[in-house]
Amino acid sequence: MIVNILHSTWCNAALLGGLIFLLMGYLIKHYPPKSINTWYGYRTFLSTRNQEMWDAGNKDAAMVSRQVGSILVLLGICCALFFDRQSDWFMYITVGAVVAGVLYITGYTEWMLSNEFDEEGQRRIPPKL
């Protein structure tokens, strides 16, 4: 029974990764990490410079994570319907989409932080309300 589920096309990386991204984006949006020392949150070199950058980075990462998660869930459902078995191309598409999603979340958030803050961590532009 469990083997049949694991080998079906409904058990794919895009669907599972998309659900994880949706959950992560929801949790960070509704329960944002309070400080840089919190055990969860968007943690990179830029986002841990100061508290203001930490808050902005987590806000952007949560938004993008929900968007990427939605796209991955849709892709996972489409792949599950289109493919009749877990072939090589099925794996390339579903795993590749998750890797591209992670790279996009990180790249977009780092780009937003570098545009919004200067080298010393001071805000260049006023925050959006």
Distances (CA, A) of 97 to 14, 73, 90, 129: 6, 10, 11, 32
Q: Which residues of the chain have pLDDT under 70?
A: 6-7, 125-129
pLDDT tens-digit map of 68-97: 999 999 999 999 999 988 889 999 999 999
Note the pLDDT of residue 8: 77
Distance between CA 53 and CA 8 in Å, rounded?
43
Helix (H, G, I), strand (E, B) or coil at 75: helix
Q: Give the chain's length.
A: 129
Query: Can you give the pLDDT at residue 9?
Result: 80
Q: What is the pTM of this model?
A: 0.87
**CA–CA separation, 40 and 24 (whole Å):** 10
